[in-house]
Structure 1
Amino acid sequence: MQRIRFLVVLMVFTSCELFISKERQMERRVNQELMAIDWDSVDQYPLFDNCDENVSKEIQKACFETTMLNHFAKAFSGLQFEVEQDMNDTIKVDFLIDEHGFITIRDIEENGEIMAVLPNIKQEITTRLNDLTTVAPAIKQGVPVGVSIRLPLILKTTE
């Protein structure tokens, strides 16, 4: 009789794992995988046509940044404002490059001093950056993902 009790007790302790549903086991594994992912970085940066996807991540980033800055410089070339006082300030523009590669302006930081001197600056920035080209989206674990970018625009008076 003792032998039977031992078997029953052993069976109760070892069979608990069998009652956990496969869905719950899968959910647990997925959660472990998600916790292991570094969500603050991408495996491949968004790429313009002139950037090579087969180079290192650092070179991809440099190509993306350089090309993006060239687009901005071209968009703002010839833009001038006349002001009565010296100015050396920065406006930050937030962009989203979505999982399809479309670039959109999310926000332009409000700066009271700049807005007082240049009330139409936000509209001018939006108008000039509205026609940005599309890019190949960023990649994270083989999946296209959206990324946010903050660009500081330095406004400085010159003689």
Structure 2
Amino acid sequence: MKKFLALLTILLLQSCNYFEKQVPSEKELLDKQLKEINWQEVDEYPSVAECELLTDEAQRKQCFFEFLTSTIQEKLSVDTLSVLYPELDTIEVKVTVYPDAKLEFEPQFPKDSVAYDKVKIDSILHARLVDLPKVNPALKRGIPVKTQFILPVILKVE
């Protein structure tokens, strides 16, 4: 019986080696997690208070883009852009939402466009697009991140 217990004890002590697993280092785990993250997509798009009540992510995103587009159109409709450039009915505006909820607007023009005074249009945009409602920045894994998108803004509604 003593021989059996001694043999069993030796076997148990030896079998512990089979259960040891190699634990990955912190750096390996971090690298693996970073590779799994899709950096081109955000978890939550920017939003405004009016859209926060919506629970569906797609509806909230659509609400935000419609709200921002209509707000920009409203602010630019009382301006001289349509007088200065009667042929200009739509302008593309690159909107940047920073993590601190700051907004930045930049007009986008075709590469071969020389018909428009880009500096003048840019200054009109910056002068008119003030006092916008507070925008909540986009979130990636719970952290506010910078996002950019281009909105087509219709200047003339006929």
The TM-score normalised by the length of structure 2 is 0.69
Q: How many residues align?
A: 134
1:92–1:155 Cα change, 3 Å: same
Residues 153 and 63 of structure 1, relative CA distance in 2, 3 Å threshold = closer
Cα distance per residue 1:123-155 (max 9 Å; x no partner): 111211133232111111111111112123456
Residues 101 and 135, structure 1, Cα contact 8 Å, conserved in 2: yes
Quote the Cα distance in structure 1 between the aligned partners of 2:157 and 2:45.
Answer: 34
Between the aligned residues of both structures, percent identity stands at 25
Quote the residue 2:83 is aligned against. Answer: 82
The answer for the alignment partner of 2:121 in structure 1 is: 121
Distance 1:82 1:66, change over 3 A: closer
Aligned to 1:7: none
Computing the radius of gyration over CA atoms, which structure comes out larger, 1 or 2? 2
Q: TM-score, normalised by structure 1?
A: 0.68
Specify the SS of the correspondent of 2:136.
coil
Q: Does structure 1 retain, via aligned residues, the 8 Å contact 2:69–2:153?
A: no
Q: Secondary structure at the match of 1:113?
A: coil
2:137, 2:47 → 1: CA distance?
7
Aligned to 1:14: none
Could you tell me how far apart the structure 1 residues matched to 2:124 and 2:97 are?
21
Displacement of 1:119 in angstroms is 6.6
C-alpha distance in 2, partners of 1:155/1:114? Answer: 15
Q: Within 5 Å, which residues of 2 pair with 1:42-81?
A: 42-52=42-52, 55-80=55-80, 81=82
Q: Describe the shift of the 1:148–1:124 C-alpha distance in structure 2 as closer, same or farther (beyond 3 A).
A: same
Match of 2:141 in 1: 141
Give the aligned partner of residue 132 of structure 2: 132
Indicate the RMSD between aligned Cα atoms, in angstroms. 3.0
Equivalent residue, structure 2, for 1:108: 107
Question: Residue 92 of structure 1 contacts residue 108 of structure 1 at CA under 8 Å; is this kept in 2?
Answer: yes
In the alignment, structure 1 segments of 5+ residues that lack a partner are 1-16
| Aligned 8 A contact 1:95 1:149 in 2 | yes
Aligned to 1:5: none
CA displacement, residues 27-50 of structure 1 (integer Å, 9 cap, x when unaligned): 121111111111111111111011
